[in-house]
């Protein structure tokens, strides 16, 4: 599996380009800005079609999507249902720094691709998702649910701390330690590293962790 990371925009949101070894699809995850930079990195891959996967709908994860669609013409754009209303809302912005995204394409809440598994990760937003790709080791793209040494914020619209922690407990920490976690900001980490060292997990009073 080939993975490239493109930090984008004011908040340095990680956009990931992923092409599984046995697939002819290039997956673009969270094109937050700088669509031309993303397209330039895509030229380094060998693929037949493009698909876009959105871990959630916050503006810093989708603002490059409109231009990217003109450049790469993806077969589809996936976003889990609970975030779809907020996706195109004019209130989906971070004033004065990030205005609402423009020229957004229609999204789908389903996909027939078998290269990855969608893992629901509500908490940072209601429709937060992770995308688990098979490999050695497996790679899980988690958006803003968890970071290296931290967890996602829940003070933005739709956020809920208890839900976020439950997603981490039931969906992430049940995975093998070697699973690599690729967050929406900052460096990659692993399930095992976060289980052992993440202070938000160690101090959470979840004894079963």
Q: Helices 35-42 & 65-72, crossing angle to 10 degrees? A: 40
Chain CA centroid to CA 166, Å: 18
Quote the pLDDT of residue 209.
Answer: 35
Ordered alpha helix ranges (H), 114-183 = 161-167
Quote the pLDDT of residue 42.
Answer: 98
Quote the pTM value.
Answer: 0.95
Give pLDDT tens digits along the chain (209 positions).
999 999 999 999 999 999 999 999 999 999 999 999 999 999 999 999 999 999 999 999 999 999 999 999 999 999 999 999 999 999 999 988 999 999 999 999 999 899 999 999 999 999 999 999 998 899 999 999 999 999 999 998 889 999 999 999 999 999 999 999 999 999 999 999 999 999 988 765 443 33
How far, CA to CA in Å, does 189 sit from each of 35, 64, 78, 111, 142? 25, 25, 24, 27, 11
Quote the pLDDT of residue 204.
Answer: 55
């Amino acid at each position: 599996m080939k993975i490239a990371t493109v930090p984008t925009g004011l908040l340095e949101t990680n956009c990931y380009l992923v092409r599984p070894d046995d697939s002819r699809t290039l997956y673009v995850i969270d094109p937050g800005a700088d669509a031309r930079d993303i397209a330039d990195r895509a030229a380094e891959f060998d693929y037949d079609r493009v698909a876009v996967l959105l871990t959630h709908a916050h503006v810093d994860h989708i603002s490059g999507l409109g231009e990217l669609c003109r450049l790469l013409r993806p077969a589809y754009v996936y976003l889990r249902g609970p975030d779809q209303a907020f996706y195109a809302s004019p209130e989906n912005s971070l004033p004065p720094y990030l205005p609402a995204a423009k020229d957004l394409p229609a999204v789908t809440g389903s996909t027939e691709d078998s290269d990855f598994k969608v893992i629901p990760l509500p908490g940072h937003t209601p429709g937060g998702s992770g995308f688990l790709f098979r490999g050695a080791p497996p790679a899980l793209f988690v958006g803003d649910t968890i970071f290296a040494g931290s967890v996602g914020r829940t003070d933005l619209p739709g956020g809920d701390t208890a839900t976020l922690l439950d997603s981490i407990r039931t969906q992430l920490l049940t995975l093998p330690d070697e699973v690599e976690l690729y967050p929406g900001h900052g460096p990659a980490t692993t399930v095992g590293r976060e289980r052992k060292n993440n202070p938000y997990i160690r101090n959470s009073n979840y004894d079963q962790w």
